[in-house]
Amino acid sequence: MYLCFVDYEKAFDKLCWGYLWSIVAKMGVPQHLVDTIKSLYDNSQAVMKLDRSTSGICQIRKGVRQGCVLSPMLFNIYSEYIMRIVLEEWAGGVSLNGYRISNLHFVDDTVLVAANQLELEAIITRLETTSRQFGFRINYKKTKVMIVDRENNNRPDITNINRCQVVKQFISLGALISNTGSCEVEIRRRIQLARNAMTQLTKVWSNNHIKKSTKINLQPTDDALTPSRCGAGGVCCEYHGQHIAPMHNVSVLNEIQLSQRLSSTVYKHILFFFGHVNRSVHMERLVVQGRPAGSRRRGRSPTRWVDMVEKLMNTNLEGAVRRTENRENWRRTVCAAVRSLEPEPEPLHVVCDVRT
């Protein structure tokens, strides 16, 4: 699979108003709403300020306002119209359950998907030609191509495809994507980011003048990534330093006012998200339930996310999907399944270097 992460030059500043209002109307927005939005931009003026001097008044004739809640929606409509023209009579892309996926885009982040290099070069050329007609230019210095293949076709001799640099890793929408198709690198990166963030608060954790409850409240709110379990280590070290007998894990969790283990919280979030995806009608559901075309390579396949769901729910994928149809029943089922996975309390022995 070939991916092209497209970067436009100053995308939000290049929207041509003349095209924008006609495109918004063609995409089904009622004319009275188009006129209302247009009135917000009519007679827009700006003054540039440098140090203490200001320029004269200049008219603004293109672009959308920064910080306006309408701007992302207007850009989405504009870029969607361009993409529809690009994909007219286009049969390329990757097949998933018979559905052709040729592009993914979120606001100004666009990813082109192709099955081979010739397809990718053709669709990049199409996108460039059509985008220029509507005032957009592709920034080839920031546009990257990735060959996702476990057979490692991303050879050193393939460094550029259609003026785009070929990379092995790329951060898109905050997630690191690897050309091996594995999430391992991204998981390790997230762990390291969390570790770095916690390290920056070392002085807070070691400050005896700050209450323990305050330290717990400083932890991230997302329980799935809560390093507040790190507080457990602090509690254990504290008791070890005072020569108190080892405590059970449950006692440690009670000490820091946490009701369940980190593993149980992670399992619960996995299953809740699985239910959320399968109740939607978007592409996420297709990705989870779909089967790609072709055959997999020889050997044991790596563990997938849905494999973890099947293991936790003790059923196959189809059975788990059926259970997610009712949201309330699914939540009760998940809570019961996670409780059944809670191990018996075991003594927690911690060895730490206590310095005075």
Which residues on adjacent β-strands are paired with residue 53? 50
The type of residue at 160 is: N
Q: How far apart are CA 314 and CA 337, in angstroms?
A: 9
> pTM (2 decimals)?
0.73
What pLDDT shows up at residue 68?
86
Total Cβ atoms within 10 A of residue 271: 24
Question: Which stretches of the chain score pLDDT less than 70?
Answer: 150-157, 219-260, 294, 343-356
Q: Quick one: DSSP state of residue 276?
A: H
* CB-based contact 41:17 (threshold 8 Å): yes
User: What residue ranges do the domains of the chain occupy?
Assistant: 2-48+58-181, 207-356
For residue 327, the model assigns a pLDDT of 86
List, as one string, the DSSP characters of 49-114: EETTEE---EE--B---TT-TTHHHHHHHHHHHHHHHHTTT---SEEETTEEE-EEEETTEEEEEE
CA angle 68, 72, 75 (to 5 degrees): 120
User: d(Cα 77, Cα 64) in Å, to the nearest integer?
Assistant: 12
Does domain 2-48+58-181 fall under CATH 3.30.70.270? My reply is yes
- Find out whether 162 and 125 touch, Cβ atoms under 8 Å: yes
Nearest Cα to Cα of residue 150 among 110, 122, 181, 119: 181
Segments of the chain assigned E as strands: 2-6, 45-46, 49-50, 53-54, 58-59, 94-96, 99-101, 103-106, 109-114, 144-147, 160-161, 164-166, 169-172, 175-178, 247-248, 347-348
* CB neighbour list of residue 269: distance below 8 Å, 6 or more residues apart: 223, 224
pLDDT for residue 155: 60
145 burial class (0-12, 13-18, 19+ CB within 10 angstroms)? buried
What pLDDT was estimated at residue 32? 92
Single-letter residue type at 29: V
Quick one: which H or E segment has residue 230? helix 230-241
Contact 158, 43 (CB under 8 A): no
Q: Among 168, 209, 174, which Cα is nearest to 190's?
A: 174
